[in-house]
Amino acid sequence: MTGWRTMTDRFLAALFGCTFVAASAAQSLPESPPRAPIGIESGVERLDAALRDSVLVRDDARARFIAAQFARTDPEAHVRDLAAAFAREPREMLYLASLASACMERTLPVRPECATTDYLSQWSFRDGDNAVPWLLLAERARRRNDLATMAAHVNKAAQQPRYDEYWSHMLAAYWKELEPLARPGERGTAAMLARLYAGSKPVAMDSPILAVCAAGRMAADEALRVSCGGVGKMMAQRGSSFLARVLGAGLTERSMSASVRGPVARDADPLLRQLQVRCGDLDAQVSRGLESADAKERGQATEFAVALVVDAIATDEATACSRLLERRARTK
């Protein structure tokens, strides 16, 4: 498995999804201190193997859902496991949304798990004040070249009070699996690994948003431009993951670009950009702390890593990071 140092770099770049953090992650980190009694690399490898061994032999909803994430290179198994997770726990919106998103992939013939039910419409009905399913409905209309319906769905999305891609639900699923598997000294590693897994493939992909709110479409349709800008602001302010907020800030900038209207927007949300950088720095410091030979430093790093996960599950990623930064400042 990838070494912990490389994993941390990839984690920072992938998790925050922007050039600022990617550049920060790519910088050379200080030389590693003497190895801690609990090796981080071996801890990551052991936890990953233990998680896979656990979920692949069980048939409960959460195990089938996580097994589906490990089966992404096998689309048929991926959809089959998602359908099984939803069938076993149909009230969990994460499972319904994940299945609806997976069934948007066009295949011939249509996969049997996707042929019997319109999961995307069911999702929009059950969580109608969430903008995300309306955006995916807009993308489905675009694929049919039904541009009037597409625009109506984007407008509907912009009017909703929430943008929830269920990232916190996904993080909770991984944390509930990994925490019991962690040995003494591994809880911090388990917490960072849960975030890495949760950030690897969120429910709300950027491709539908980019297709529906393409610059050319917005330039040709003022009403669509306004709706897409509204969706972007909502994502940047209310997305449960940093990735959603970054995508939202980018969409806001595109809706204000010179090719659409007015001067190029240099930075639609500078506070978000600043928070990204600070959170990326904090993650790097926590990962180094987990490798420290000093027991006190390892303990504090573990405490921070776990606190961030627990708070992010209860709130959202950006809020949890802001709170942890404030807490860290008070402990200095």
Higher-confidence residue of 21 and 289: namely 289
Backbone angles phi, psi at 130, to 5 degrees: -100, 130
- What the block records as the tokens of 154 is 């984007």
Residue 73 inside a domain? The answer is yes
Tokens 């980190």 map to which residue? Answer: 29
Number of domains in the chain: 1
Is residue 92, in this structure, part of any structural domain at all? Answer: yes
Provide the 10 A C-beta neighbour count for residue 235.
28
Per-residue pLDDT of 53-85, as tens digits, reads 999 999 999 999 999 999 989 999 999 999 999
Q: Which residues contact 149 (CB under 8 A, 6 or more apart)?
A: 138, 141
Q: How far apart are CA 320 and CA 146, in angstroms?
A: 40
Is pLDDT at 190 greater than 80 in this prediction? yes
- The boundaries of the domain holding residue 90 are 58-126
The pair of structure tokens assigned to 155 is 């407008």
> What's the confidence (pLDDT) of residue 208?
80
Q: Are 171 and 312 in contact (CB under 8 A)?
A: yes
Which pLDDT belongs to residue 269?
A: 78
Residue 3 has pLDDT above 50, yes or no: no
Q: Which of 58, 146, 61 is nearest to 99 (CA)?
A: 61
- Res 332: pLDDT: 67
Domain assignment of residue 110, yes or no: yes
- Please report which helix (H) or strand (E) contains residue 313, including its range: helix 295-314
- The model's pLDDT over 111-137, given as tens digits with 9 standing for 90+, comes to 999 999 999 999 999 999 999 999 999
C-alpha distances (whole Å) from 37 to each of 107, 193, 300 are 50, 19, 16
Burial of residue 28 (number of CB atoms within 10 Å: 0-12, 13-18, 19+): exposed
Q: Is the pTM of this model over 0.75?
A: yes
pLDDT at residue 54, rounded to an integer: 97
The conformation of residue 107, written as its DSSP 8-state character, comes to -
Q: What is the pLDDT of residue 210?
A: 82
Element holding 26 (H helix, E strand): helix 19-26
**Domain contains 238:** no
Write down the pLDDT at residue 25: 33
Sign, CA torsion 29/291/289/196: positive
Instruction: Say if residue 23's pLDDT is above 50.
Output: no
Q: How far apart are CA 276 and CA 272, in angstroms?
A: 6
- Flag whether pLDDT at 296 surpasses 50: yes
Is there a domain that residue 119 lies in?
A: yes
CB 162 within 8 Å of CB 133: no
pLDDT for res 207: 75
Rg value, the chain, Cα: 21
Is 122 part of a structural domain of the chain? yes
Q: Is residue 72 included in any domain, yes or no?
A: yes
Say how many C-beta atoms besides its own lie within 10 A of residue 27's C-beta: 8
pLDDT of residue 193: 95
C-alpha 192/C-alpha 290 separation (Å) is 10
Confidence class of residue 268 from pLDDT cuts 50, 70 and 90? Answer: low
Examine residue 303 and state whether it is found in any structural domain, yes or no: no
Structure tokens at 5: 């140092």
